[in-house]
Chains A and B, each alone.
Chain A
Amino acid sequence: MSASPDPLATLRGVCEEKLPAWIRDAPKGSTIGVACSYAPLELLHAAGLLPVRLRCPGPPPADSDTWLPPFTCSVVRGLLGMAVDGSLVDLAAVLLPHTCDSMQELAGICRLVAPGVEVFTFVEPLAVESPYAQAYLQQELRGLADRLRERLGRRITDEGLRESLALYNRIRQARARIDGLRNRLPALDAWAALAAAWLLPPEDYLEAAEQLANTLQDAEPRMGDRPRLLLAGSVIDEPLIPALIDELGGQVVGDDLCNGMRDADTLASESGDPWTALAVRLLRRGACPAKHAPSRPLGQRLADLAARTRAQGVVQVMVKFCDPHAFEVVPATQTLSSAGCPQLLLEVEAGSGRGQVRTRLQAFLELVSGGP
């Protein structure tokens, strides 16, 4: 990709497409859809594939009830909808990590409803701090590599994997630069600039993100004394919440989101065995509520991040029916309360109405500002 005259427009643009348009122009058989930030992107890239996150904006399809119980989240419903409506046919394959039980069941249902779509599963460890986790994960990574070779004819070399680790390290560093310059960006633009990392080919994202970070570096802070919020929670696939924060006069000073900065805190080692380096990165990265990481509880991470970013309040965005998150929210809320940090729990799903979300955010901004 040549240098964009407006990198932010590139990053925003890809967030407006349900399935990025570039996929249709990519070499046949080169793209793989992934559904979770624990997907080993470096491994897929080293196999010559272009990973793209499958996102589910808008209301989930009504016919998902045919296949899924009513307590299934809109993320899984939306992914199933994409399988049913043929949206995935331009992809060489889909990788569904074992994020939760619903996601695991989705893999089996996808094989039934979309037999033409090549579905890979990846069962990463849940107890990421277990002494056995690393050996198991390395074995699972090797197993995935074997399946990619058998079913897609893709081979991975150590050197190729090392190069991909370096590329994604640079991407995480570019994201961290943008994250650190949020006071130059409205919340909606910052959300798009970071979410696009999962939606563009990695080389293209890196170029646009570094260009944007350089531009921001030279710009003046522009968010002033707007109330400072930390945005945390599940995946945010729709611009509603950051757009409302802008509209209501707030600013986002940091995030702990699945498609935001949660995984960007840990880089992979670029020396030594690359398989070990990838496994260690996945185990040490900011843990998702679906993982068991007793030494790094979500609440403490949010409290620390809120203190570091001088956030005046934490907005926890939870996708309805996301059980792992719902259980984690309770202790996280207690930790934040003990730290004296105001918080708002927003339970939403794809296609959520604007009115109730707006009222809650407005009231919360009034609360952290000390009154209207």
Chain B
Amino acid sequence: MSAYLGIDIGSRVVKVVLVGAHGRVLARAVAPAGIDGPAIAAELTARVCAEAGVGPREVGYTVATGYGRVRFCEADAEVSEITCHARGARHLVPGARTVIDIGGQDSKVIALDEQGRVADFCMNDRCAAGTGRFLEVTAEALGLSVEGLAAEHALARQPVTISSTCTVFAESEVISHLARGTPRPEIVAGLHHAIASRLLGMAGRVGLTPVVVCTGGVAQNAGVIAALEAIGKVAITVPPDAQLAGALGAALIAAARAAERR
């Protein structure tokens, strides 16, 4: 059996996807990156191969992507996360024309042409504003887990305004709101609106052509998606396995490269 590996070594999380013929997902795995993403990637690779019953020699091609891609020496090739997320998102949502990827420490907006190729992109280039890390820091200040943010957002009547896009200053604003007795759901909704505004400001450079797809770990936060839809006035599709889009794209590119090599 031929199989192809996609390994996305992100700044916070490592994702590995193994696909077989025609891009069928055989196995997947996710784990925190810790301090040695490539080592975690090697562990996850062994795990997905074992789960799928694929021996090391049966892996026809491996593509690494993400922040730690350059340090993962076992890959046959490294491809940027922009290209991989685009490929993965288009596979998950065939009509996708815009991909908003919100990762742990960066975010990007990718415009796709009609054929699904990357036509333009932009990435946040200033700080953690608009990233998962922003939510982690501010959730902690609120005494919440990241996973609890969406449920809290659902209880909000009116989001407060969080004016700082700097994570550190936003944390100070959150503490000030708490001190004033602002209900926590409204602060959470305000944070989600802040992150959405930052992302949509960036998206203005490349456009928001429907179908808009959101990928990355933060895509699992329904509060952020609701804020993006409300402010951007656009429907957003979150595919299952949104967090795995980069790794899936890498695996699909690996399969295509293997086919070219034959």
Contact = CB atoms under 8 A, between A and B. Distances in A.
A363 B80 contact: yes
A76 B216 CA distance: 38
A367 interface: yes
Given A356-B106, A356-B125, A372-B253, A342 B83 contact: no
Interface in B55-73: 63, 67, 70
Size category, B interface: 20 to 34
Nearest to A347: B125
B247 interface: no
B81 A359 contact: yes
Of B63, B80, B106, B257, most buried by chain A (CB within 10 Å of CB) is: B80
B82 A363 contact: yes
A203 to B, nearest CB: 42
A359 B123 contact: yes
A130 B80 CA distance: 47
A153 interface: no
A370 interface: yes
Report whether over half of chain A's contact residues are helix, strand or loop; otherwise say mixed. helix
A362 B63 CA distance: 14
A372 B125 contact: no
A366 B77 CA distance: 13
Interface in A324-372: 342, 345, 347, 355-356, 358-360, 362-363, 366-367, 370-372
Contact of B80 (A342, A345, A366): A366
B83 A366 contact: yes
A363 B122 CA distance: 10
Contact of B67 (A345, A355, A362, A367): A355
Contacts of A367: 83, 117-121
Contacts of A370: 117
Report whether over half of chain B's contact residues are helix, strand or loop; otherwise say mixed. mixed
A363 B121 contact: yes
B83 A372 contact: yes
Size category, A interface: 10 to 19
B106 A362 contact: no
A370 B87 CA distance: 12
A315 to B, nearest CB: 13
Contacts of A355: 67
Of B119, B120, B253, B257, most buried by chain A (CB within 10 Å of CB) is: B120
Of B70, B79, B118, most buried by chain A (CB within 10 Å of CB) is: B118
Nearest to A342: B120
Interface in B65-119: 67, 70, 77, 79-83, 106, 117-119
21 contacts: A355-B67, A356-B123, A358-B70, A359-B80, A359-B82, A360-B123, A362-B79, A362-B80, A363-B81, A363-B121, A366-B79, A366-B80, A366-B82, A366-B118, A367-B117, A370-B117, A371-B117, A371-B118, A372-B63, A372-B83, A372-B253
Interface of B: 63, 67, 70, 77, 79-83, 106, 117-123, 125, 253, 257
Given A366-B79, A366-B118, A367-B118, 7 more contacts: A342-B120, A345-B122, A347-B125, A363-B118, A367-B119, A372-B79, A372-B253
